[in-house]
Structures are given as structure tokens and as C-alpha cells.
Amino acid sequence: MTLAEILSRSSALPPAQLQEIADFAEFLLSRHGQEQNAAPEKDQDDMDFSRWVAGQRPARHDRPLDQEPAFGIWADRPEMTDSIAYVQQLRANWRGAGK
């Protein structure tokens, strides 16, 4: 599981359980000999996680799905005219049936 997946799945937890996650991470760091003072620079995921542990929730985006940046990015691809058939063909190839 990636850090992003951990953040995503843990975002629904109450603050007390988020603190348990943070405490366990600290325990693992101390158990494996890493000094707390020598912590690497935090990336955005780490900072988001720290905010969640502190009980702060990220802002929600209240815009329609069709206004999200990724919406419709495959609209001009010819294989997407029948997306169900396209996915079925991919799955058949993955299972070896399309050989």
C-alpha cells in the first residue's frame, strides 16, 4: 500500500484513530533505529497526513464532476466510442483469451 493509499483510506477515521496511526509510525521508526531528529523533509502527502492526525480535514471540492480536469480526457479516442467493448477486449487479452 502506498502512502497516498494509506492517506486516502485513513481520512475517514476519527482523530483518535489517526493519532494511533501516527503513534505506530513513530514506534516503528524508533524500533528500527531511525532518530526522530533526522526525519526527512516532508512531502505534500506527509503534510496532509499530519493535518488529518491533528483533526483537520482537507477542503472538499464542491464542483460538478464534469468540471474536474480529468473529465473527458479520452473523449477523442476512437476506441472509446464503445467503451464497454474496449474494456471487455482488454480483459480478454489479460486473461489470455485474446491470443
**Grid cell at residue 32:** 528500527
**Grid cell at residue 59:** 477542503
pLDDT in tens, 25-36: 888 888 886 555
pTM listed for this prediction: 0.32
CB of 12 closer than 8 Å to CB of 18: no
66 vs 56: CA distance, rounded Å? 28
CB of 55 closer than 8 Å to CB of 49: no
Determine the pLDDT at residue 15.
79
pLDDT in tens, 74-83: 888 888 888 8
CB of 57 closer than 8 Å to CB of 11: yes
Our CA angle for 41, 45, 51, nearest 5°, is 95
